[in-house]
Structure 1
Amino acid sequence: MSVEDRIYKELIELVRIPSVTGSDGEVEIARYIYDGLNKERYFMEHPGHLNLVPGPDGHRHSVVALVRSSLNVPDTVLFIGHLDVVGAEVYGNLADKAFNPEALTQAMASRPMDGQARADLESGNWIFGRGVMDMKCGVALELDLIKEFARDPSLFGVNVVVALVFDEEGSSQGMISALPLLADLAEREGLNFIGAVNTEPTDAGLPGAPGPGYFLSTMGKALVMTYVIGKEAHGGSYFGGLSASLLQSFIDLEIEARPELRDVLGPSVTLPPFVLNRECRQKEVYSVSIPHLNMAYYNVFTVARTPRDVLGMFKEAAGRGVKKALDYIDASYMEMKNFGYAGAARERGDVSIFDFAELRRQAAHNYTGDFERAEREMALKLKSSGKDLREQGIALLEWEMSWRDKKGPAVIIGFLPPFMPHRSNYGRTEVELRFNRAVEATVSYAENVFGRLLMECPAFGGLCDLSYIGCEIDEGERQTLKENTPGWGVIYDLPFDLMEKLNMPIINLGPLGRGAHTWLERLEWDYALGELPQLLRQFLINSGVGS
């Protein structure tokens, strides 16, 4: 069977497993991959080189496999990929075919779709289905490569580790929980990691990319929460209260889609922040009370900003939003008075703006008893509740609000999980320079052998687990993040020391696809199955001894 046929067959089998984040399919696919690798003679003879790594819930697992080169070298290339996919609800009445690429692609012929998708479908070079591009194809490529290497360890002058993890589409708990094993493997086996390769599709990192490319950096992400406290009042006494929803609306307008809040590093430019969730916190049943508690959290992409930078940016934006909201309500009140309104009087007052670290200091000062013990017990209780990680952090903040100094209106700003550091390959160390030479040689190979011009793209914009393969955050910034994330160390944590220990240059070199997370998700298979397998192998050759 040809390499192309092997990878295609593996891809179809992987997609058939509906490994939606948090589902039983996510458990099934890890076992499927582990069992498949365990049949290889190499792993029978080296059982310590194949590991099923449990996550924090003990239910989901990642698969980490090592194949050592017969040349007995320490240099090692790490491949990573994620096993989970987003749900298939967007497929509507085609949802039953979403995980059957061949049947779905055939059924697509009768469906209306945009011009590009129609052209791709009719070309015969694209296959549709949930996960075909994001990122079961990358997983199939990596599995085929390591199986081939396991059968002939003389192929490459470097060792290869493949880490296939769960929860990338969620909070990256799979990658984070695999880091201790990767560090242990490095120490136990004497491995020297010289670089990490992810095989996410180009379009996931650069939507609308005209062709295949590669990325030497990846954007980071902060999830920033604004918790707004207004002033309670009956709706009939509206001007006697202060709507937290109104305050939040004006804060939103100072943050969401604001071009001036983009982050920039060289050619890499992020999207501005945007709201991922917003909700009124105190209303579980209907009432005519003014909403006095409101929460929103925002996606913030980074390529250069630090946690301290992000907090400062949000405090300034919240200050502008609050002022405009108060000016707006004052003007409304005065105009209503001109119309004869004689109800509850409007009192402007102040709105405090501070971060979660300050709230925690106030709570610790005012709490009667052992605050740290009580806080930890509450965090543990929330962690065991099974609630969403974001909800756990918000609930802990609400618990601490009881002991703040002032009970008046306020905006509290902090972080929620996940935090994804941005990563870049600056070419400043010998390891990075060597890695870059291997990349350049592979790009030249693509042009010389396939006539393929691979684009060097800006930072990978789709977010990926390469964020955790290294650490560019100094101790002061780590402390800012820890102090301003409710429940850090219990509800959520990052092993910064391990990340720093594993620090290595990165590249994303994956297939060409379109429509990630939509019902038009699809993969172009000529490049994915015909050229890319050889490019990945050539990269290993270029990275090896004597290259």
Structure 2
Amino acid sequence: MKEMNWFTYIKAATERLVAIRGISPSEEENLVASKILELLYEDGIEALYTASGFDPIANDPYGRKNVYAFLRGQRAETLILLGHFDTVDTADYGDLESLSLDPGALALHIDELLAPGTRLEGERSNWLFGRGAGDMKSGVAVNIALMRHLAERSRSEALPFSVLLIATADEENESAGVLQAVHFLTRWREERQLHYLGVLNTDYASALYPGDPHRYIYAGTVGKLLPSFLCIGRESHVGAPFGGLDANLLAAELIRDFSMNDALSDSGKGQTTVPPVTLHSTDLKQQYDVQLPFAAYFYLNVLTLTSSPAELLQRLRERSELILEQLLRRVEDTERRWRRATGLPDEVEARKGCVLSYAELYADVVAQLGEESVHEELEQTWQKLPVRLDKRERSLQLVRRLWSLSRRRGPAVVIYYAPPYYPHVPESEGLLAEAVRAVVEAHPEQHLIQREFFPLLSDISYLQLDANMDIAALTANMPVWQDAEEEPSRPGAYSLPLSLIQQLQLPVFNWGVHGRGAHQRDEAVQMPYSFEVLPQLLAEVFQALEERLR
């Protein structure tokens, strides 16, 4: 078997992939997919794969496709190598944007890329910069190298078990690629009578603190919910502000309490998520006038390790009720002081407000108008919206329409969920877990540490779902939710193949490249570990599995 020079091959493959613009979501992701298949096939080894090619993403508005390559071994047991090939935009590079896909050129501008005071681990020459260098075209290059290595081995001997590579589109947007892969894996397992050992995802991991010498492996991943808040104030002229309520003020008070509040961090197995942050906030005025903004909204990024959608919703509702109550009392006190200062009687009418979930608001409107009427009204609103409208915006418009049908008046807060939803995935036991532990224990010199939850959002969220996870609070409070089995698929709807994910129930590991600065202009991958040590360690995982299957 021809010996693989890991470093040389993976560096070259990474540079070739980085050179292709593949921002998600867009048609250009297909250019990267084609290059991946070309790399898998180079040097005439296409015929060595049992099967390979593209798997189109069903009903995708951009016509995107995943890439797969399969090597049939002596046994039905199958190891899955996973990675995504899309990236975020390059506008953050500023004046250097024209070089953002050229690692060689960026190497001459490292001082401009790095924030003042930033220190790189080790020698600068050990780092390869560029959009996608860390997140995660280098990880895909590692998988390609491993797959080519195994294909070459299959020339002289049958592999002891099967291996399936899947490279997915769209991880950075709504994970359409891995959701397509869920269908592919389910079908592939049935058609080819496979037994999946688990998934090795090679997305980047980074140091947890300055000077951290460790390289991290994760046996699960964090989840994510996107609670959203429609804040209803009350209209009034700015010259008479006490006659209404500024919806921006209400939203600001909620954001002040929620954003960067570690009391809302989720904890489990010795790990704690970062606090929530807002990803978007705005009032809903479309033009200048002197009317108080009476509607605003924002959505909140919340990472989870153990909390269910119902638990988070209840926690946010309780805090929202308290914040709304405190705000209204504060406005009353302010009005009293103002009235005294202007010589007016200080008698003030008590203000009242309410906090509702979307499901509660829906039930209230149905009780007034009937289910059929409410369905028709929301369907008309849905159909009037552009097909490619952002799902967060579509959700907002549906909630606003439902609020208008309720004939309620503010102040109020309506809490609902918007896409996407990422289930958190805990650690799983099995042969793959045993093999990974064996390799970690065999290499103390590499300072490897295994933790349970990968701290960043990842496609592996969609490969396992606890059968006891109650997501009814999610689906009932997500205006654009559509059951995966429901036909036809509505434009702009959001669905997840939950039953298929539970059927797969795959053990997942993220053991990827060592990188830094993902989604920032100083994104980079550390080459000595990522291009040489990592692929050898993963090849040893393969060997450890082989030993356990004898």
> What TM-score, normalized by structure 1, do the two folds share?
0.91
Cα 1:124/1:438, change in 2 over 3 Å: same
Give yes or no for the alignment of 1:446 onto 2:459: no
Q: Secondary structure at the match of 1:486?
A: coil
Rounded to whole Å, the distance in 2 between the matches of 1:416 and 1:486 is 7
Give yes or no for the alignment of 1:158 onto 2:151: no
Residues 335-344 or 438-447, more deviating: 335-344
Aligned to 1:488: 481
Equivalent residue for 2:264, pick from 252, 261, 264: 261
- After the TM superposition, which residues 531-546 of structure 1 pair with which residues of structure 2 at under 5 Å, given as runs? 531-544=533-546, 546=549
Which amino acid in structure 2 is aligned with residue 9 of structure 1?
Answer: A
Aligned to 2:13: 10
Q: Contact 1:363 / 1:402 at 8 angstroms: preserved in 2? A: no
Rounded to whole Å, the distance in 2 between the matches of 1:24 and 1:53 is 12
Aligned to 1:126: 127
Equivalent residue for 1:335, pick from 337, 347, 354: 337
Give yes or no for the alignment of 1:187 onto 2:181: no
Equivalent residue for 2:64, pick from 61, 64, 67: 61
Rounded to whole Å, the distance in 1 between the matches of 2:331 and 2:315 is 25
Cα 1:102/1:235, change in 2 over 3 Å: same
Give yes or no for the alignment of 1:146 onto 2:136: no
- After the TM superposition, which residues 171-182 of structure 1 pair with which residues of structure 2 at under 5 Å, given as runs? 171-182=174-185
Give yes or no for the alignment of 1:435 onto 2:428: no
Aligned to 1:135: 136
* Superposed CA offset, 1:132-180 (max 9, x none): 1111110100111122223333474221222211221112122112211
Rounded to whole Å, the distance in 2 between the matches of 1:325 and 1:144 is 59
Which amino acid in structure 1 is aligned with residue 479 of structure 2?
Answer: P
Q: Secondary structure at the match of 2:494?
A: coil
Q: Contact 2:216 / 2:451 at 8 angstroms: preserved in 1? A: yes
Computed over aligned residues only, the root mean square deviation of the Cα atoms, in angstroms, reads 2.4
Q: Secondary structure at the match of 1:169?
A: coil
Q: Contact 1:415 / 1:481 at 8 angstroms: preserved in 2? A: yes
Rounded to whole Å, the distance in 1 between the matches of 2:131 and 2:63 is 20
Aligned residue-pair number: 533
Rounded to whole Å, the distance in 2 between the matches of 1:260 and 1:158 is 47
Q: CA deviation at 1:348?
A: 3.1
Rounded to whole Å, the distance in 1 between the matches of 2:304 and 2:382 is 28
Q: Contact 1:176 / 1:494 at 8 angstroms: preserved in 2? A: yes
Cα 1:124/1:198, change in 2 over 3 Å: same
Q: CA deviation at 1:402?
A: 2.1
Q: Contact 1:14 / 1:136 at 8 angstroms: preserved in 2? A: yes
Rounded to whole Å, the distance in 2 between the matches of 1:467 and 1:110 is 35
Q: Contact 1:265 / 1:303 at 8 angstroms: preserved in 2? A: yes
Rounded to whole Å, the distance in 2 between the matches of 1:372 and 1:169 is 33
Which amino acid in structure 2 is aligned with residue 435 of structure 1?
Answer: L
Q: CA deviation at 1:464?
A: 0.5
Q: CA deviation at 1:373?
A: 4.7
Where do 5+ consecutive residues of structure 2 fail to align? 483-489
Q: Contact 1:351 / 1:408 at 8 angstroms: preserved in 2? A: yes
Q: CA deviation at 1:485?
A: 0.4
* Superposed CA offset, 1:299-327 (max 9, x none): 00100000000100110110121012112
- After the TM superposition, which residues 32-71 of structure 1 pair with which residues of structure 2 at under 5 Å, given as runs? 32-37=35-40, 43-44=46-47, 48-71=51-74
Rounded to whole Å, the distance in 2 between the matches of 1:199 and 1:533 is 10
Q: Secondary structure at the match of 1:228?
A: strand
Equivalent residue for 1:296, pick from 293, 298, 301: 298
Rounded to whole Å, the distance in 1 between the matches of 2:496 and 2:233 is 33
Aligned to 2:397: 395
Aligned to 2:327: 325
Rounded to whole Å, the distance in 2 between the matches of 1:435 and 1:5 is 28
Q: Contact 1:18 / 1:99 at 8 angstroms: preserved in 2? A: yes
Which amino acid in structure 2 is aligned with residue 129 of structure 1?
Answer: G
Where do 5+ consecutive residues of structure 1 fail to align? 427-431
* Superposed CA offset, 1:364-384 (max 9, x none): 3333654335534543553x5
Aligned to 1:461: 455
Q: Contact 1:15 / 1:99 at 8 angstroms: preserved in 2? A: yes
Q: Contact 2:51 / 2:70 at 8 angstroms: preserved in 1? A: no
Equivalent residue for 1:99, pick from 101, 105, 118: 101
* Superposed CA offset, 1:257-304 (max 9, x none): 2222111112110112121111101x1010111111010100001000
* Superposed CA offset, 1:445-501 (max 9, x none): 333xxx2120123511111011001102536x2221110001211411111001101
Aligned to 1:526: 528
Cα 1:151/1:374, change in 2 over 3 Å: farther
Aligned to 2:234: 231
Q: Contact 2:202 / 2:513 at 8 angstroms: preserved in 1? A: yes
Rounded to whole Å, the distance in 1 between the matches of 2:202 and 2:148 is 17
Q: Contact 1:75 / 1:158 at 8 angstroms: preserved in 2? A: yes
Which amino acid in structure 2 is aligned with residue 443 of structure 1?
Answer: V
Q: CA deviation at 1:191?
A: 1.2
Rounded to whole Å, the distance in 1 between the matches of 2:295 and 2:345 is 23
Rounded to whole Å, the distance in 2 between the matches of 1:110 and 1:296 is 34
Aligned to 2:25: 22
Rounded to whole Å, the distance in 1 between the matches of 2:467 and 2:415 is 20
Q: Contact 2:340 / 2:346 at 8 angstroms: preserved in 1? A: no
Q: Contact 2:328 / 2:351 at 8 angstroms: preserved in 1? A: no
Q: CA deviation at 1:392?
A: 1.1
Q: CA deviation at 1:2?
A: 2.0
Cα 1:323/1:495, change in 2 over 3 Å: same
Q: Contact 1:43 / 1:50 at 8 angstroms: preserved in 2? A: no
Q: Contact 2:339 / 2:346 at 8 angstroms: preserved in 1? A: no
Cα 1:341/1:212, change in 2 over 3 Å: farther
Rounded to whole Å, the distance in 1 between the matches of 2:467 and 2:256 is 30
Give yes or no for the alignment of 1:284 onto 2:286: yes
Give yes or no for the alignment of 1:479 onto 2:472: yes
Rounded to whole Å, the distance in 2 between the matches of 1:440 and 1:41 is 36
Residues 166-175 or 10-19, more deviating: 166-175
Q: Contact 2:356 / 2:415 at 8 angstroms: preserved in 1? A: yes
Rounded to whole Å, the distance in 2 between the matches of 1:18 and 1:42 is 26
